[in-house]
Structure formats: structure tokens, C-alpha cells
Structure 1
């Protein structure tokens, strides 16, 4: 009964958001990152996919298969008209088992393979960054040969000063643009003190994916990639300048926007985020 009530609620939200095209800055319903509904996915994969679809969302970035094989997950997605456009894996996966990663990504029907963390101790060092650059170029070339694109997702620690810029600048400049692209997490660009809109303008052809996430007002910045879940809030109610960021993104190569809401209240907050994005 509760599940049916929730689905009916989300369906009403979806009907509202789909009654007209999205706003000028976001012209279609954005996707969502599976991490947003990680607890629900861990308990009920089909039910969670039903919930996502009831919100009007048909674009999904998977960071976990939640006990499913890639073909089984693809079948569940296809049954609901949901597309897995990006498949997130661990850094070690692309280094140690790259062929298996690519097989799973293709089975899912993904266009992108994404890594979101460079293993490191303390501050990210130039030496570790240089090794990551080599690994990204190598895996990106393999992915490209399979018709896939590789993206690296920032988490804040990459913005330490280095040479005339930051380690993030160094990673962007030293990776092959034919093989390596980027996914901007706007919160983990803003929290370390960077301007997401300015960074998009600086590298307009390197970003392909974007995580939309807002941060509760009053929360201090950090560059450790750590945010208390309750400090992830409905887009437009936090610290980030969403209109400026989305306006900048429209002038870049960004193809997919994914809502990432880390809050335990994400099932209630995501529909509110969709309403906000629609009015922009």
C-alpha cells in the first residue's frame, strides 16, 4: 500500500513536470545518479526503478549494479524505458580489469564509463596525479576503441595549487582529449573554493557529464570530498548559483545532467528539485 501511494505521488509530480517542456536552462528532464537512491536500490531494484520512472526520469547513471548482472540490470531498465547512459566504476577496476569493465558497460548500453576517485593518502600529490593521467589515457584509449567515452569525476582534492594552476588543470591538460573527458560535480567544485561556471567556460570541450547537487546554506567548504548527507539539499535552496552554472553548461559539451541528492530525504527532495529546474 505504501509503495503504491508513493508511486502515485511521484507520478503526479512527473505529470506536472512533463506538462510543458522544461525551462530555458534545462530543456529536458535531467537524469539521476543511482547513489541518490542507494538505500532503496539495496533493498528493491525493480521497485526503485519504478519510482525513478514515476518521477519522469529516464536517464540513469549507475555507480553500482546492486547484486544484478549487467544483462539483468539492462533488462530491468529496458522494461521501463530507462537508459543507463553512464556506468561508474572504481579506479582499480579500470587498471586491473579494464576488459571486464568495458564488457559490462556495453551490456548496460552505456555511452560513458566514469571513475570518481583517485586513491591517495593525505593531499593528492603530483606523482599520484601523473600516474592517474597515464592510467586514464590508457583506459580511455581502450574505451574509445569500443565506442565508449571515459570520464573522470572531480571530488575537490584535485584543486590544490600546482605550477601555474591546480592539479585539476594539470590533469585536464595532460590527458588526451580524444580519450579522456570529465564529469563536473558542481558541489565538489564549489566547496573547495572554485567557480563551477568559470571552470566550465575555461574547459568548454572537456566536460561531458555533470552532477547537480546543492549544499545547505552555512556549511563550510572543504577539499576532502566529504559532505554530511543531511547537508545535500533541494536544488536552488542552498549555496550554489544554479542559474549561472546551468547557463554556462549550455555553452559546453555537457550532454547529461544527473541529479545527485545524498540526503536520506532524497525521495522527497528530488521531485522538488525537478519542479525547481522546470521553472528556470
Structure 2
């Protein structure tokens, strides 16, 4: 079963029993262009399949053929679509796509499906079958007993619950990441954490990002920086990436509408790539300098055009970006 981000967050919630305060996002950074970034560096332009929605996993051969026809050569899975790793791997190989990373939720062991709570041997075997080398946690561990209140949206419920939990929930997330990364490193599987904007909500004199950064082991736990969510929190993505130098291994590339109102709920006003306010010349250069090796397009709903066309627009734009 393929799940979108909202469904995933709901499932995570029901299964669970320096940059302190962000500065205003600056105008587009002036950056001297030199050559086409992806052509010069040789990095492939990747795609997080979440961008294609819930239907992406219904016919993998058809989906992967469309993705490959656009020009993508690397993909990240939002989950296993209710299919076996072997079936997904074979479909990717037929299309000429490489699966480099998989989003695995940080949930207690016992939740159906592959997660960070699964036994390390199973994670290593399944990712090995897929050919993936990165297990990425897409969200923190929500507080025990989390439940939305009557009439409360899931986004507001998460924001309230995490805020009420203070630093404890972030420290537990950091500990879980350290433990899983140590267990998977001998198998050649890296562990990374994917941010939203929630990580930057002030908690006294700190925030969730700062806690994760300082309490995870730098030689074990890395980060998948989502530049769209960084911007949605009111931060400049290129400047933020410079502050995270050395521990960024993956990046989600998404644009944000010029009139997006910064905040910390898991919501934003998206934009088709190149129509929003982000400066991708500066972002790509900063991401590479921060250690990023995998660059993945992703976009949040609602979409102004069909999802697959949004992916095509993004690919055509990104391949021309000079940095």
C-alpha cells in the first residue's frame, strides 16, 4: 500500500504510545554562475516518488518507465508500496533506475511494514535487495499516546503535541537514530534524518534541529535536508546548508511560493519548480559544499498541473541550473 505524507503521519502518530530562532528568508541570493551544475559534477537528478502521489505504486513498470523517460536516473522510495523489495528492484532495473534511499519511519517495532523499528538484519537485507544504501527517517518519534483532539487537523495536532513534549521528544529521536545507525553501519547502510519545518520551532533557547544536530553522533547520523521545508520555516536554505556542512548527504529540492507564510506546522504553499522564490544556483552549490551526494526533486500538493508533468518541469529546469 502506498501512503502519502499525511497518511504516513497519521499512522506514525497512532503507532507511538547555531540556528535557534530563524531569521527572515532573504531575497534571492546573488550567486555567480559558472556551468550547468549536474553536467559539471556528474551527479544524477533524482526523484522522491512521494511527488507522484498514491498512484505511483500501482503499476511500478509504468511509473518507472515515465520517470526514466523524463531523464531521472535515481529514485528515493517513500515506502515499499506493499510490494516485495525484489519486485521493486526488478522493476527499477527494467527502467534503468537506481534506488539509492528509502524513507523508513521511526516507530516502535511491531508496526506492520518495514520501518526503523524493524530488526537491523531485515532492514539491511531489504535495502540490499533494493540496492539502496540510505535509510532515511522522514519524521521524528511522536510523543507516546499522541492523538488529535476533536476538530483538530493532523498538522496542528503534531505541532501542539511536539511543542508540549519540549526537548524530550527530540532527545528520544536522536537516541533512536544513534542506535539504528550504529546497528546498520556494519552492513553498509547509512542513516539520515529528513527535516520538515517543525524542527525549527523554538523550544526555549533551542529547537528540535539543534538538539538532533548536537545529540546525534556525527560519524553515524547524517541529514537529508529538504530545502523547501527549511524555507517554509523562514530560513534561507543556502545559508542553512552552510551551517550544516559535513553532515548533509541527501537533499530534497522543492520550490516554495513567493507568498508562503513562514511557520512551523507541517504545511506550506508549494510552487512548481522555478516559479517560486528559491535560488537553486546558490542552493545546489551550498548543498555540494555541505557534503550532499544525492539531489532529489520533490513537491508538495496541491499541484497546479499533473504530478508527472511537474516532475518533468522540475527535471528540465534543474538540468540547466548553473552553479
- 1:134 aligned to 2:175? yes
Alpha-carbon distance between aligned partners in 1 of 2:272 and 2:236, rounded to the nearest angstrom: 20
- 1:64 aligned to 2:97? no
Q: 1:112-153: CA deviations, max 9, x gaps?
A: 000111124423420011111110000001111111100000
Match of 1:18 in 2: none
State TM-score, norm by structure 2. Answer: 0.74
Moved more, 123-132 or 174-183: 123-132
- 1:279 aligned to 2:320? yes
Q: How does 1:125-274 map to 2 (within 5 A)?
A: 125-162=166-203, 165-227=206-268, 231-263=269-301, 264=303, 265-274=306-315
Match of 1:105 in 2: 127
Work out whether residues 232 and 260 of structure 2, in 8 Å CA contact, stay in contact via their aligned partners in 1.
Answer: no
Greater share of helix: 1
SS in 2 for 1:54: helix
**Which of 20, 25, 29 is the matching residue for 2:37?**
25
Q: 1:17-69: CA deviations, max 9, x gaps?
A: xxxxxx53333441000101123314321100000010111100011222210
Match of 2:16 in 1: none
Q: Which has the higher contact order (CA 8 A, sep 6+)?
A: 2
Change (3 A) 1:161 1:232: closer
- Shift of residue 165, structure 1, vs aligned partner: 4.3
Please list every run of 5 or more consecutive structure 1 residues that lacks an aligned counterpart in the other structure. Answer: 1-22
Alpha-carbon distance between aligned partners in 2 of 1:217 and 1:90, rounded to the nearest angstrom: 31
Match of 1:40 in 2: 55
Alpha-carbon distance between aligned partners in 2 of 1:271 and 1:141, rounded to the nearest angstrom: 38
Alpha-carbon distance between aligned partners in 1 of 2:225 and 2:197, rounded to the nearest angstrom: 10
Work out whether residues 71 and 315 of structure 2, in 8 Å CA contact, stay in contact via their aligned partners in 1.
Answer: no
- Shift of residue 97, structure 1, vs aligned partner: 3.9
Moved more, 164-173 or 59-68: 164-173
Please list every run of 5 or more consecutive structure 2 residues that lacks an aligned counterpart in the other structure. Answer: 1-34, 108-114, 144-157
Alpha-carbon distance between aligned partners in 2 of 1:241 and 1:106, rounded to the nearest angstrom: 36
